[in-house]
Amino acid sequence: MIPLCLVAGFLGSGKTTLLRRIAATNTGRRLLFLVNEFSAADVDGRTLAADGLDVRVLPGGSIFCRCLVSQFIGQLNAIAGRAEIGPLDGVVIEASGMADPRVIARLLVETKLDARFSLSRVIAVADPVRLLKLIRTLPAIRAQLEAADVVVLNKCDLAPPAVCDEAEALARSLRPGATVLRAVRANVDVDPFPASPLRE
């Protein structure tokens, strides 16, 4: 069973920075990064590839909408096949800013990919200032917080403490029991696969 970690968050919240942090703190694991960008430009994928990471890119829409879902499923099938050849300790998926992460668990079941993959963790990354401004107008942001096991309030150095407090209270109200972390440049230690031991 290959564990999946889904990282969600609105554009500019710091998802790619968090992925780079995850890569740097998980050098004992063999990870693959699957990057979904809403635009056709492959900015995040190139950034991660430049770090020497194993990256696959799905640009031009959300992986959970009709325009890309078949390609997303195809990528997962290809990854599962590759894992039979060589070791793979986990897949980190960077969803587009407009993605609703609640869809992935159902999608895995419907496509029978739940026999090969398990959803280990959902991490939502949010900029406190933009979160409070956009929560009422962008349903995807609320959905990301409601689905998250871990919420990373990033860019807290750029927000007044009262704004960070309000954003944290909002995150906790939408997802009671979630871990909420405050960060600067995504400088937090989050285990993307808490049930998977580090490779010796």
Report yes or no on 153 lying in a domain.
Answer: yes
Residue type, 157: D
pLDDT tens-digit readout, 99-111: 888 889 899 999 9
Q: List C-alpha distances in Å: 139 to 63, 65, 131, 162, 189.
A: 17, 15, 11, 24, 28
- Residue 68: domain span: 2-182
Which CATH number do you get for residue 54? 3.40.50.300
Q: Has residue 108 been placed in a domain?
A: yes
Instruction: Reduce the DSSP state of residue 107 to 3 states and report it.
Output: helix
- 188 within some domain: no
**Half-sphere exposure of residue 129: CA atoms within 13 angstroms, side-chain side:** 9
Residue 73 covered by a domain: yes
State residue 48's pLDDT score: 75
- Our count of domains for the chain comes to 1
Residues 6+ apart with CB under 8 A from 163: 128, 129, 132
- Three-state SS string over 163-178 comes to HHHHHHHHHHHHCCCC
pLDDT for position 112:
94
In a domain, 195, yes or no: no
Rounded Cα–Cα distance for residues 72 and 62 (Å): 9
102/92 Cα distance (integer angstroms)? 16
Segment 126-157, tens digit of pLDDT: 999 999 999 999 999 999 999 999 999 999 99
Structural domain contains residue 191: no
pLDDT tens per residue, the chain (200 residues)?
899 999 999 989 999 999 999 999 999 899 999 998 755 455 556 777 777 788 998 876 777 766 678 888 999 999 998 766 678 999 999 998 888 888 898 999 999 999 999 999 999 999 999 999 999 999 999 999 999 999 999 999 999 999 999 999 999 999 999 999 999 999 999 999 987 644 43
pLDDT at 85: 63
For residue 19, the model assigns a pLDDT of 95
Among candidates 111, 127, 86, 99, which has minimal Cα distance to 34? 99
Residue 173 lies in a domain: yes
- The answer to whether residue 36 sits within a structural domain is yes
